Each structure stands twice: as structure tokens, then as C-alpha cells.
């Protein structure tokens, strides 16, 4: 998937801000399937601030790689604030990163419900001892559009977590 100019500009800003702060960032992705990491690594110099990302599409992967409690997933579902926060916090711990961003959602076209419609995306950013940030979005469009909007939202939240605005 080619990235939009806006996405690449956001990713470049993330790399610039992280590099200036001597920070390390990581990603934990479900519905975006590695696109956030892809956008970041599309930027020259990203290797100075990004060492790995976690694609945890299956619930088991969320638990095994990021330490998300399976009981939490069973209680509130994988597409939830609790799981997004746990994914971000688990990725930060697993990588030793300064800041981690996580995304879980329903990109469609199927899989939605009245309570959790297609386009619902939870984004979280963990940043050490400070509180983990969270945003809930309901994006519209087709699967590719929802995933692209989720990438941009994650990059913006990552900037916010590092004390910047997009």
C-alpha cells in the first residue's frame, strides 16, 4: 500500500521528534497489520529510533508477544480500550522503547456489530511512567481507507505522546 503524502509527513515528524529526544519507539498493530511500522520505516533515518514492531493480529499473539491478559480479551473483546492500552504497554516493555503506539480495530467489510461497528479503532500510546494515552475512533470508508486513517491517527497520537502536535 503506498502511503499518502500526509502519512509520510506525519511519519517523518515522528522520526524527527524521536531522534531529537533520543527516544526509541515501537508499534503494536492488529487491524493495521504493520502499516504503522511501514510508514515509520519509509522515512530515511528511522533506524535511529525504531528497532521493531509487533504485528499481533490474533488474540493469542497479543497475549504471547505483548502480555495482554487473555481474560481481558475474553471480557471486553480484542477491539477495546483496555486491550489497546495493554498492547501499547506490553510493546513498550517488550522492546524497551521510550514510547509505543498500539492499534486494534475492525477494518471490515465484515466483523462489525451494533456495539462495535466496522471502522471502530482504538489507539493507545504508552510512554513510561506517564499515563497511557487512548483515543477511540469510528472511521468510514472501505477496508483500505479505514486502515489508512488508523495509521494517521496512530502517528498523531505517537507525536502527542512525545509532547508534540501533528
Q: What's the CATH number where 45 sits?
A: 3.90.950.20
Q: Is residue 117 part of a domain?
A: yes
Q: Is residue 149 part of a domain?
A: yes
Please say whether the beta carbons of 59 and 47 come within 8 A.
no
- Spatial strand order of the sheet with 120-127 comes to 50-55, 25-29, 99-105, 120-127, 130-138
pLDDT score at 2: 83
Q: Is residue 101 part of a domain?
A: yes
Q: What residue numbers bound the domain in which 123 lies?
A: 5-161
Q: Is residue 69 part of a domain?
A: yes
pLDDT at residue 165 is higher than 80:
no
Q: Is residue 41 part of a domain?
A: yes
Q: Is residue 166 part of a domain?
A: no
Q: Is residue 29 part of a domain?
A: yes
Phi-psi region of 107 (alpha: psi -120 to 50; beta: other; left: phi over 0): alpha
pLDDT score at 166: 64
Question: What is the pLDDT averaged over residues 108-123?
Answer: 95
Number of domains observed in the structure of the chain:
1
Q: What is the Cα–Cα distance from 93 to 61, expressed in whole angstroms?
A: 15
pLDDT at residue 1 is higher than 70:
no
Q: Is residue 147 part of a domain?
A: yes
Q: What is the Cα–Cα distance from 18 to 40, expressed in whole angstroms?
A: 11
Q: Helix, strand or coil for residue 159? A: helix
The predicted-structure confidence for 121-143, as pLDDT tens digits, reads as follows: 999 999 988 999 999 999 999 99
The predicted-structure confidence for 19-46, as pLDDT tens digits, reads as follows: 999 999 999 999 999 999 999 999 999 9
Angle at CA 83, nearest 5°, toward 82 and 84?
A: 95
The predicted-structure confidence for 53-89, as pLDDT tens digits, reads as follows: 999 999 999 999 999 999 999 999 999 999 999 999 9
Report the DSSP pairing between strands 25-29 and 99-105. Answer: parallel
- Which helix (H) or strand (E) covers residue 81, if one does? helix 81-95
Amino acid at each position: 500500500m503506498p502511503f499518502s503524502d500526509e502519512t509520510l509527513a506525519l511519519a517523518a515528524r515522528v522520526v524527527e521528534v524521536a531522534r531529537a529526544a533520543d527516544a526509541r519507539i515501537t508499534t503494536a498493530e492488529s487491524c493495521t497489520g504493520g502499516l504503522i511500522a511501514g510508514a515509520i520505516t519509509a522515512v530515511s533515518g528511522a533506524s535511529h529510533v525504531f528497532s521493531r514492531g509487533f504485528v499481533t493480529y490474533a488474540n493469542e499473539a497479543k497475549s504471547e508477544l505483548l502480555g495482554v491478559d487473555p481474560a481481558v480479551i475474553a471480557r471486553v473483546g480484542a477491539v477495546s480500550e483496555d486491550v489497546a492500552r495493554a498492547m501499547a504497554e506490553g510493546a513498550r516493555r517488550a522492546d524497551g522503547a521510550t514510547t509505543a503506539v498500539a492499534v486494534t480495530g475492525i477494518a471490515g467489510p465484515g466483523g462489525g456489530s451494533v456495539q462495535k461497528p466496522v471502522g471502530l479503532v482504538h489507539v493507545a500510546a504508552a510512554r513510561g511512567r506517564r499515563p497511557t494515552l487512548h483515543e477511540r475512533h469510528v472511521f468510514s470508508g472501505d477496508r483500505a481507507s479505514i486502515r489508512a486513517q488508523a495509521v494517521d491517527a496512530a502517528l498523531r497520537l505517537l507525536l502527542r505522546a512525545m509532547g508534540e502536535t501533528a
